[in-house]
Amino acid sequence: MQFAPVYPYLYRLLKSRFPSSLWCGSPAVPYVALTFDDGPHPEYTPQLLDVLDRYGVRASFFWLGVNVARFPAIAREVHLRGHWLALHGYEHRAFPRLTPTELHDSLERTRDAISSACDLDPALLRDVRPPNGIFTPKTLKLLNQWHYRPVMWSVVPEDWVEPGVERVCQRVLTQIHWGAIVVLHDGYFGGQSVAQTAACLIPQLRDREYDFVTIDRFWNDVPPPSLLN
Catalytic positions, please? 37, 185
Cβ distance 132 to 94 under 8 Å?
yes
- Three-state secondary structure call for residue 184: strand
Rounded distance between C-alpha atoms, residue 169 and residue 197, angstroms: 7
Q: Are strands 127-128 and 149-150 parallel, antiparallel or unpaired?
A: parallel
β-bridge mates for residue 61, sequence order: 36, 85
Q: What gap in Å lies between CA 67 and CA 16, rounded to an integer?
A: 33
Identify which of 86, 72, 71 has the alpha carbon closest to the alpha carbon of residue 36. Answer: 86
